[in-house]
Amino acid sequence: MVKMEKITETYFVAKLSKKGKFLSSEIFMSLEEARIWAMKEAKLLISHIEMLRSTNVGDIVVEIDKHFFGYEASSDEILKNSVKVI
């Protein structure tokens, strides 16, 4: 009997933009990691005095989206592609 396993992994994608222009993004395993990265990046952007003078509230935006990646594997397929470790 072939047993199918469905494996789902959750990731959080943080996207940083300034005045609607995409600057960077990163992928994280947890929401907390994504939030910490977002805070650090936003603080770095406004730490420059020129940027601080030309930036208004709402100009710097971080969007954090939750993504699910799923796949299926049969136990036969897993055994066929595995290596025995002694």
Altogether, the residues listed in the chain come to a count of 86
For the chain, percent of residues with pLDDT exceeding 90: 40
CB of 12 closer than 8 Å to CB of 28: yes
pTM of the model: 0.64
Per-residue pLDDT averaged across 62-70, rounded?
Answer: 86
Q: What is the pLDDT of residue 38?
A: 93
For the stretch 7-41, pLDDT in tens is 678 899 999 998 889 999 999 999 999 999 999 99
- Mention every residue, 6+ apart, whose C-beta is less than 8 A from residue 64: 12, 13, 14, 15, 31, 34, 35, 38
| Other CB atoms within 10 Å distance of the CB of residue 23 | 14
Q: What is the pLDDT of residue 12?
A: 94
